[in-house]
Structure 1
Amino acid sequence: MKKTFNLILFVFALSVAAMAQTKPTIYILATGGTIAGTGTGSNDADSEYKAGAITVNALLEAVPEINDLANVKGEQVVNIGSQDMNDEVWLKLGKRVNELLRQNDVTGIVITHGTDTQEETAYFLNLVVKSDKPVVLVGSMRPSTAISADGPRNIYNAVACAVAPESKGKGVMVVMDDKILGADDLTKTNTLSVGTFENPNYGPLGIVYGGKPIYTREPLKRHTIKSEFDITKVNKLPRVEIILSYSNATSLFVDAAVKAGAKGIVTAGVGNGNMTTVMQNSLAKYVKEGKIAVVRSSRIMTGPTAQWDEVNDDKLGFSASWYNNPYRSRVLLMLALTKTTDYKEIQRMFAEY
């Protein structure tokens, strides 16, 4: 009888091991943010919260259902509010993602991230990840202690996307509020809503329905394995500043940025990337002197900053961002400056990425 019982236990253990081997392996890399935050109460209106207060293991324990989808392994990269995200963490995260995705047994990556700068991190990774395996960023607008916290559902949906074969080759994605959004056009549109993220120009990549991704479009720009950017040997990114344009804007912030050592400036211009004549002349002077590269973008959420319109970019030595907003433009210009300072080459990159 005892031998029979031991045999049953042995067969059961083998079955469990076989099931584990057939499930895909997903790494969840945690960086902090509201999704890892805790509050003083359950009511959003009167609850203060601290971002990045809990660890990746605590996050995973809140969503045990993801273990039905994959063999999940958690790793804490940093634990910060995303307002404090920086180049050092980007490089660390990008290199770690590439390292993990080179492993044959790793199916995909999910990254938990605060929403404040999620669009910038997603776009950075979209340009430097060297794999067509799924990379999915996920966050939440409510801390883990709030009523109807959105984090657990978002994490589940993110893992569901990361394990799906049809997610391969889609570039870096953000999954929140049942939407699948591409890093190529990602924008945070509302300070409080759980549906804050949108792809306002191109439309979402798809939706998550019934725990499965349904895709409705492909990414429209170069990304991941088709990207020319490689951070393998990059330990520091060039400094690029964003300068807002507005009525009566002077050269004050332009002069300060150049003096502080900026190698590039992105303008968040009015309308179609326009700016005051004073500001434009100051930027053109520094470009001519070889001190900075300039990319014109717009503070308007939708529509392109066109290359051939009111501003003669070729005459001034500027580049136009097309559909990249100021924040994604900054990311792309930093990476562009690791390769070139030629405004025509930079313009090509902004047309392709």
Structure 2
Amino acid sequence: MTAKRLLVLATGGTIAGRAGSATRRDYRPGQIGIEEFLANADYLELDVEFDGQQLAAIGSENMSPAIWREIHAAILAGFADDDVDAIVLTHGTDTAEETAILLDLTLPNTKPVVIVGAMRPADAVGSDGLRNFANAVRVAADDDAAGRGVLVVMSDRVLAARDVRKSRTSGTDAFAGFPRDAIAHVTPSSLEWFGPPWRGEEQARFAFPDEFPQVPVLYAYAGMPADTVTQCLAAHAQGIVLAGFGEGNMPDDVRATLAEAAKGGTPVVRSTRVDMGLVDRDPDDDRNHFIAARALGPAKARILLQLLLASGITDPAQIQAAFDRR
């Protein structure tokens, strides 16, 4: 049987980071280039062939629409290459969930795309990078990985793009999923899916935007003034995501100002600053023209709203339908 060929796209991150010491807390991400990284992975004796491409060498706090565009184009090129069976994207953990949902919504669901990172740099004691990479390769090369959209592999777990979120600041078990947790358990020697593929060969739900609309995220806090909203509008915000209290709540004067903005044509999405939980539609949402983020946290809600606005969709009911879709 011919070994599968995987395209590995590298963007830097902790998985390619070095500290210069096994015990130092500080380190520099993106120090290991793709050629060295794949050479380091040789000892894993993975039954696949690799093509590597370096797209960036950054910490993912510096991820940008320009780099997203490069990633998207490189994956489409991999899809068009008959010799490539799947794509693995190495990525920093801070914004992995945003990249994951952006790609999930703007790529056709054909070949598997797996994002992988690490919480400890390559030269740290207990580094998790190569194990996570070995797991990602096992997932990407598996026939049943297709039809599940973009996946994220961390700490022996496989998470779907819409569910995944970074839930801890440190430690190797830093990622969780909501409303679904892991959809599979993986080790370098085994893979167990918890259900069949649910997506099939869908086309991309959205075109990759020429420009990303300006959509700020407002973080709710006690004593939050309403002029926080007016400042965003004065800065030409095209939509607003509120990271609200609890189930997307906010102070009354903030609610009134956001409702005025929404009625004036600026879409407003109610999300939550709480790590996990649904934000369902409130009885007043129709009157206020608000959109409920449902299971999406603020960062992902922002990405989806940007794609909708870039597609010319501004009607609250149509936007709500997109947030309701899984």
TM-score, scaled relative to structure 2: 0.95
Q: Please say if 1:42 is aligned against 2:22.
A: yes
In 2: Cα distance, 1:182 partner to 1:23 partner:
25
Task: Specify whether residues 135 and 179 from structure 1 end up closer, same or farther in structure 2 by C-alpha distance, changes over 3 A only.
Answer: same
- The alpha carbon displacement at 1:201 in A equals 2.2
Q: Please say if 1:76 is aligned against 2:54.
A: yes
Aligned amino acid, residue 205 of structure 2: E
In 2: Cα distance, 1:223 partner to 1:279 partner:
42
Aligned amino acid, residue 151 of structure 2: M
Q: Please say if 1:333 is aligned against 2:311.
A: no
- The alpha carbon displacement at 1:251 in A equals 2.0
Counterpart for residue 298 of structure 1: 272
Aligned amino acid, residue 253 of structure 1: T
Counterpart for residue 137 of structure 1: 115
Instruction: For residues 239-259 of structure 1, give each alpha carbon's deviation from its aligned partner in whole angstroms, at most 9, with x where no partner exists.
Output: 111101122111233222222
Counterpart for residue 347 of structure 1: 320
| Residues matched between the structures, number | 325
Counterpart for residue 284 of structure 1: 259
Counterpart for residue 206 of structure 2: 229
25, 31, 37: which one aligns with 2:5: 25
- The alpha carbon displacement at 1:235 in A equals 2.1
- The alpha carbon displacement at 1:29 in A equals 0.3
Task: Specify whether residues 105 and 66 from structure 1 end up closer, same or farther in structure 2 by C-alpha distance, changes over 3 A only.
Answer: farther
C-alpha contact 2:19 2:124 (8 A) present in aligned 1: yes
C-alpha contact 1:69 1:163 (8 A) present in aligned 2: no
Q: Please say if 1:174 is aligned against 2:148.
A: no
Tell me whether 236-245 or 211-220 shows the greater mean CA deviation.
Answer: 211-220
Instruction: For residues 22-67 of structure 1, give each alpha carbon's deviation from its aligned partner in whole angstroms, at most 9, with x where no partner exists.
Output: 2111000001111111103111xx3320111121111111111466
C-alpha contact 2:109 2:146 (8 A) present in aligned 1: no
Tell me whether 248-257 or 68-77 shows the greater mean CA deviation.
Answer: 248-257
Provide structure 1 residue ranges, at least 5 long, that are not aligned to the other structure: 1-18
Aligned amino acid, residue 229 of structure 1: F
Task: Specify whether residues 284 and 218 from structure 1 end up closer, same or farther in structure 2 by C-alpha distance, changes over 3 A only.
Answer: farther
In 1: Cα distance, 2:226 partner to 2:20 partner:
44
In 2: Cα distance, 1:129 partner to 1:255 partner:
35
In 1: Cα distance, 2:21 partner to 2:264 partner:
56
Tell me whether 328-337 or 54-63 shows the greater mean CA deviation.
Answer: 54-63
In 1: Cα distance, 2:13 partner to 2:103 partner:
18
In 1: Cα distance, 2:21 partner to 2:200 partner:
41
Counterpart for residue 90 of structure 2: 112
C-alpha contact 1:299 1:325 (8 A) present in aligned 2: yes
In 2: Cα distance, 1:272 partner to 1:219 partner:
31
- The alpha carbon displacement at 1:95 in A equals 2.3
C-alpha contact 2:8 2:87 (8 A) present in aligned 1: yes
Instruction: For residues 310-336 of structure 1, give each alpha carbon's deviation from its aligned partner in whole angstroms, at most 9, with x where no partner exists.
Output: x51111111101111111101111111
Aligned amino acid, residue 22 of structure 2: S
Provide structure 2 residue ranges, at least 5 long, that are not aligned to the other structure: none
- The alpha carbon displacement at 1:210 in A equals 5.0
Aligned amino acid, residue 310 of structure 2: T
SS of structure 2 residue aligned to 1:322 = coil
TM-score, scaled relative to structure 1: 0.88
C-alpha contact 2:113 2:151 (8 A) present in aligned 1: yes
Instruction: For residues 240-281 of structure 1, give each alpha carbon's deviation from its aligned partner in whole angstroms, at most 9, with x where no partner exists.
Output: 111011221112332222222221111001011011111111
In 1: Cα distance, 2:200 partner to 2:116 partner:
19
In 1: Cα distance, 2:230 partner to 2:64 partner:
23
Q: Name the one with the larger helix percent.
A: 1
C-alpha contact 1:200 1:301 (8 A) present in aligned 2: no
Counterpart for residue 272 of structure 1: 247
In 2: Cα distance, 1:249 partner to 1:226 partner:
42
- The alpha carbon displacement at 1:188 in A equals 0.9
Tell me whether 175-184 or 245-254 shows the greater mean CA deviation.
Answer: 245-254
- The alpha carbon displacement at 1:212 in A equals 3.1
C-alpha contact 1:56 1:75 (8 A) present in aligned 2: yes
Counterpart for residue 240 of structure 1: 215
C-alpha contact 1:137 1:174 (8 A) present in aligned 2: yes
In 1: Cα distance, 2:224 partner to 2:271 partner:
16
- The alpha carbon displacement at 1:217 in A equals 3.3
Q: Please say if 1:312 is aligned against 2:284.
A: yes
SS of structure 1 residue aligned to 2:162 = helix
212, 233, 237: which one aligns with 2:190: 212
User: Percent of aligned positions with the same letter in both sequences?
Assistant: 35
- The alpha carbon displacement at 1:223 in A equals 9.1
SS of structure 2 residue aligned to 1:26 = strand
In 2: Cα distance, 1:287 partner to 1:100 partner:
41
Q: Please say if 1:191 is aligned against 2:164.
A: no
In 1: Cα distance, 2:13 partner to 2:121 partner:
9
